[in-house]
Amino acid sequence: MTGQKLGVAIVLIVLAIFVIIVLVRAVRIVPQARAGIVERLGKYNRTLNPGLTILIPFVDRLLPLLDLREQVVSFPPQPVITEDNLVVSIDTVVYFQVTEPRAATYEIANYIQAVEQLTTTTLRNVVGGLNLEEALTSRDQINGQLRGVLDEATGKWGIRVSRVELKAIDPPHSIQDSMEKQMRAERDRRAAILTAEGTKQSAILTAEGQRQSSILKAEGDAKAAILRADGEAQAIQKVFDAIHAGKPDQKLLAYQYLQMLPKIAEGTANKLWIIPSEVGEALKGIGGALGNLGPADGDEPDSKPSSTLM
């Protein structure tokens, strides 16, 4: 009895282990953004989508899951010969995505390696038709051509190439030195042009300021002269009006003429001065006035004058 119970226990244990193994192999959970290929008896059966699925143990086989997300692969630098026979080193980055898991599994053995080799070949064909300057300045054009060729070639593999980028294009060291010298000379030339342009603008602004200052000064002098002339004219008019309002006689006018004579002779530079004819008339008037002031009654006039008029 004891041996029979032990045998039954062993059988039950074996059956339990078998059931657990069957359940483990039968139940599969596919994560999100993943896909699985199921082969039944070595032949493609179906593609598993994310979620829970049941397989037939020992009949169905689940291949390694494929990542359906966009993948980024950076390839090592590749030496490429340009049209002008210069060897440049180019780093490339390819963005691709698996769109058909069945084609990516059965149409190509290693799609990542295939994309790398195809990128290298296409890059050499595209850059080989450009000189160094065009290769350095036409990255967008090169990226577009690479993407078009890769996307068309990888379409049958169930892969879509979304973008290709050139990380770096490194020319030979000798060419880099020449380019640095050229760029330095170009920067110096631009700096000299900017300095000359600044000097020119400064001179123009200075001349314009001086011109405006001269114009404003001339306008100010003209306005001052006009105001001065107006003031003198008004003063003369007031004096003239005052004289005529006072009704001066000949004696007063003669006296005013005599007072103006010293002012006419003022200044060390006056070597010659002219006496108006009115001064003579004024002197005659003064002489007549002094002649009328004869000696008083009883006084005898001097026999000869006290001074002589020269």
Same domain as 113, residue 45: no
Percent of all residues in the chain with a pLDDT value above 90, rounded to a whole number: 13
Is 40 within 8 Å of 52 (Cβ atoms)?
A: no
The verdict on residue 114 lying in a domain is yes
The verdict on residue 161 lying in a domain is yes
**Residue where a domain stops, chosen among 171, 195, 222:** 171
Same domain as 140, residue 108: yes
Q: pLDDT confidence of 268, banded at 50, 70, 90?
A: low
Which residue segment(s) compose the domain that 151 sits in? 70-171
Same domain as 62, residue 80: no
Residue with tokens 């179906």: 46
pTM of this prediction exceeds 0.85:
no
**Residue where a domain stops, chosen among 221, 244, 261:** 261
The yes-or-no verdict on residue 144 having pLDDT over 70 is yes
The whole-chain average pLDDT of the chain stands at 79
Residue 154 to residue 14: CA distance in whole angstroms: 49
pLDDT tens sequence across 124-138: 888 888 888 888 888
Name 264's Cβ contacts closer than 8 Å, sequence gap at least 6: 270, 273, 275
**CATH (domain of 111):** 3.30.479.30
The verdict on residue 152 lying in a domain is yes
Dump the DSSP string for 141-199. Answer: HHHHHHHHHHHHHHGGGTEEEEEEEEEEEE--HHHHHHHHHHHHHHHHHHHHHHHHHHH
At 299 the pLDDT is: 47
Same domain as 62, residue 74: no
Same domain as 157, residue 111: yes
The yes-or-no verdict on residue 48 having pLDDT over 60 is yes
Candidate from 6-10, 25-29, 259-263, 306-310 with smallest mean pLDDT: 306-310
pLDDT tens sequence across 218-234: 888 888 888 888 887 78
Number of structural domains the chain divides into: 3
| Three-class secondary structure of residue 94 per DSSP | strand
Candidate from 111-115, 183-187, 200-204, 265-269 with smallest mean pLDDT: 265-269
Dump the DSSP string for 19-72. Answer: HHHHHHHHEEEEPTTEEEEEEETTEEEEEEPSEEEE--TTTEEEPPPEE-S-EE
Q: pLDDT confidence of 190, banded at 50, 70, 90?
A: confident
The verdict on residue 309 lying in a domain is no
Same domain as 144, residue 166: yes
The verdict on residue 6 lying in a domain is no
Same domain as 188, residue 156: no
Please state the rounded mean pLDDT for residues 8-17: 82
The yes-or-no verdict on residue 5 having pLDDT over 90 is no
The yes-or-no verdict on residue 187 having pLDDT over 90 is no
**Residue where a domain stops, chosen among 222, 237, 261:** 261
Q: pLDDT confidence of 250, banded at 50, 70, 90?
A: low
Same domain as 237, residue 195: yes
Same domain as 147, residue 88: yes
Token digits of residue 23: 């359940």
At 237 the pLDDT is: 75
Which of 90, 96, 54, 57 lies closest to 75 in space, CA to CA?
Answer: 90
Backbone dihedral region of 242: left (phi > 0), alpha (psi from -120 to 50 degrees) or beta?
Answer: alpha
Please state the rounded mean pLDDT for residues 64-78: 90
pLDDT tens sequence across 21-44: 877 778 888 899 999 999 998 899
Please state the rounded mean pLDDT for residues 228-257: 70
The yes-or-no verdict on residue 297 having pLDDT over 80 is no
Same domain as 211, residue 165: no
The verdict on residue 218 lying in a domain is yes
At 56 the pLDDT is: 86
Same domain as 86, residue 147: yes
The verdict on residue 197 lying in a domain is yes
The verdict on residue 281 lying in a domain is no
Same domain as 186, residue 252: yes
Neighbours of 18 (CB within 10 A): 11
More confident residue, 299 or 117: 117
**Would strands 87-98 and 60-62 be described as parallel, antiparallel, or unpaired?**
unpaired
Is 146 within 8 Å of 93 (Cβ atoms)?
A: no
Percent of all residues in the chain with a pLDDT value above 70, rounded to a whole number: 75
Chain-centroid distance, C-alpha 128? 36
Report the first-to-last Cα separation within the chain, whole angstroms: 186
Is 78 within 8 Å of 118 (Cβ atoms)?
A: no
Q: pLDDT confidence of 267, banded at 50, 70, 90?
A: low
Q: pLDDT confidence of 308, banded at 50, 70, 90?
A: very low
